[in-house]
Structure 1
């Protein structure tokens, strides 16, 4: 398999939390119902992951936030569930596998995404 794209992003957790409080509906616009119930640091990491995925995919126009959901495997390992606009862009690029790593510490959430095909 070849690496087709790489993306990285960081989010200041407190600043992200302030944005969620200041902007009604932002949580629902960015996250699926299952994601939206998670703690703030986890939400910030998931936002960073979605941003990193967009970068890895080449920042496609019209990407829908809900079309890239972070789900947890039984082991707790995060993975993307792609559908709609995001799945279409991944298929167009020949992506067979999306790797994602999330982290949060010292007030910063981060994510790295690697696309393989």
Structure 2
């Protein structure tokens, strides 16, 4: 059963300016494995984390560093949660997360579907 759907879009140029203006922002939003990517990829990963919050319905119990966007060998994205964030998501009955990312024309977009059974 689909519990929630979230979508978010980020202006890559605006995101890049935010990172330049606030040097500590990247470290607050991303774990080491996510850093070092092009700004469009970081913007898409930020959009994915925002899409997750929207799919879950609220940010209570969620932490940026416990939500990690990864890519497999074929560059297919996935999102994993750990710690208190995993507990908060499980408490909402969510057992599976499906993620799609895209960036083009100066915009980055993420679409996320949360599946499970309502508690």
Contact persistence 1:60–1:89 (CA under 8 A): no
> Across the two proteins, how many residue pairs are aligned to each other?
116
| Root mean square deviation of aligned Cα | 1.0
- Residues in 1 aligned to 2:40 and 2:59: alpha-carbon distance in whole angstroms: 26
Structure 1 residue ranges, 4+ long, deviating more than 4 angstroms after superposition: none
Residue 107 of structure 1: aligned partner: 106
CA deviations on 1:35-87 (whole Å, 9 max, x unpaired) are 01110000000000000001111122242101110011222211012102321
Residue 77 of structure 1: aligned partner: 76
Greater helix share, 1 or 2? 1
- Residues in 1 aligned to 2:60 and 2:76: alpha-carbon distance in whole angstroms: 29
1:5 correspondence with 2:4: yes
Contact persistence 1:27–1:36 (CA under 8 A): yes
Contact persistence 1:48–1:111 (CA under 8 A): yes
Contact persistence 1:67–1:83 (CA under 8 A): yes
Unaligned runs of 5+ in 1: none
Residue 98 of structure 1: aligned partner: 97
Unaligned runs of 5+ in 2: none
- Residues in 1 aligned to 2:113 and 2:45: alpha-carbon distance in whole angstroms: 15
Contact persistence 1:56–1:113 (CA under 8 A): yes
- When the two structures are superposed, what TM-score results if normalisation uses the length of structure 2? 0.93
